[in-house]
Amino acid sequence: MKSKNYVIVDDSIADAGFLKQQLDLVPFLELFKICSSVEEVIEVLINQKIDLLFLDIKLSGQSGLDLLKFSPELPPVIIVSAYPEYAIESYEIGRAADYLLKPFTYERLLIGLNRALSIQIKPTSIAEPDFIFLKMGRKIQRFDYKSIEYVEAYGIYSKVICSAHTYTVNERLVTLTELLPDQLFMRVHKSYLINITKITSYDRNYLWLGQLKIPIGISFRPKLEGLLRLFNRLEEYD
């Protein structure tokens, strides 16, 4: 799974801003655009592949339900509305993954996000690779994602720590942060990029990969906490 983009459709700047602020805590989500009307989001959907749609119901005299009724193809949709009376109709249309009633908590948003991400997408003909090739001096080395425990900054190089060996590669940590899939790897400190599936425990200031203790940088803490809370929800509703 690569990073997923999303669109917010809401004519309230304050509500759209609040939702974006909450979604900023989920590392693999990227805002594509905030739209204020049905016509505006239709234009986006015609010209751009969108992975998630957060849709308000009342849009300055329009109804977000019209988009659900009449658009032939839509990405997974999460309704975000202050009006509970539209919930039944939205479910009867059958095209909404969830219905969030404003104001909602972050935990409730994660439940809706889990439901939307669980919607089956037709697989592509080419599977995404589960490995990466990195340069070590003059040699090119293959690294399976599952074997990488963490990556540590090492000047203009990086140390890739795997289950059996430690390798020094030619890439800087900031470059590896971009190259490695962000649904598996996360920057938690200016000097550390970790495989999140290897986390065995954590507190507010540190996380552990087995016996190894790694500090959590203050600027990286909000996204890490958001991701871990999302994973807790994914396991609960799996």
Structure confidence by residue, pLDDT tens digits, 17-63: 999 999 988 878 899 999 998 888 888 988 889 999 999 998 877 78
pLDDT at 114: 83
**Co-location of 61 and 110 in the same domain:** yes
Look at 35-44, 121-130, 132-141 and tell me which has the smallest mean pLDDT. 121-130
Number of H helices, E strands in the chain: 7, 17
Q: Could you tell me if 177 and 187 are in contact, meaning their C-beta atoms sit under 8 angstroms apart? A: yes
- Using left for φ > 0, alpha for ψ between -120 and 50, and beta otherwise, residue 156 falls in alpha
pLDDT greater than 70 at residue 235: no
pLDDT greater than 50 at residue 122: no
Tell me the whole-structure pTM to 2 decimals. 0.56
Provide the CATH number for the domain around residue 177.
2.40.50.1020
pLDDT at 191: 96
**Co-location of 231 and 158 in the same domain:** yes
Token look-up 């500090």 returns 215
DSSP 146: G
**Co-location of 9 and 57 in the same domain:** yes
User: How confident is the model over 91-97, as a mean pLDDT?
Assistant: 78
Residue of 32, 25, 72, 26 lying closest to 50 (CA atoms): 32
Instruction: Please identify, among 63, 86, 117, the residue that sits at the C-terminal boundary of a domain.
Output: 117
Q: Each residue of 140-193: pLDDT tens digit?
A: 889 999 999 999 999 999 999 998 899 999 999 999 998 888 778 899 999 999
Query: Is residue 228 in a domain?
Result: yes
Indicate the pLDDT class of residue 106, thresholds 50, 70 and 90: confident
DSSP 85: G
**Co-location of 88 and 162 in the same domain:** no
Query: Is residue 187 in a domain?
Result: yes
**Co-location of 149 and 106 in the same domain:** no
**Co-location of 102 and 141 in the same domain:** no
Instruction: Please identify, among 72, 90, 117, the residue that sits at the C-terminal boundary of a domain.
Output: 117
Q: Which two tokens stand for residue 93?
A: 């249309």
Task: Show the domain range for 48.
Answer: 4-117
Q: Each residue of 56-89: pLDDT tens digit?
A: 998 877 788 888 877 767 889 999 999 888 887 8
Q: What's the structural domain count of the chain? A: 2
Instruction: Please identify, among 60, 87, 117, the residue that sits at the C-terminal boundary of a domain.
Output: 117
Q: Which residues pair with 52 in a beta bridge?
A: 6
**Co-location of 148 and 225 in the same domain:** yes
- 86 or 12, higher pLDDT: 12
pLDDT at 123: 41
- 110 or 123, higher pLDDT: 110
Token look-up 């900054």 returns 153
**Co-location of 145 and 178 in the same domain:** yes
Query: Is residue 123 in a domain?
Result: no
Q: How far is CA 37 from CA 17, 72, 94, 166, in A?
A: 16, 18, 21, 53
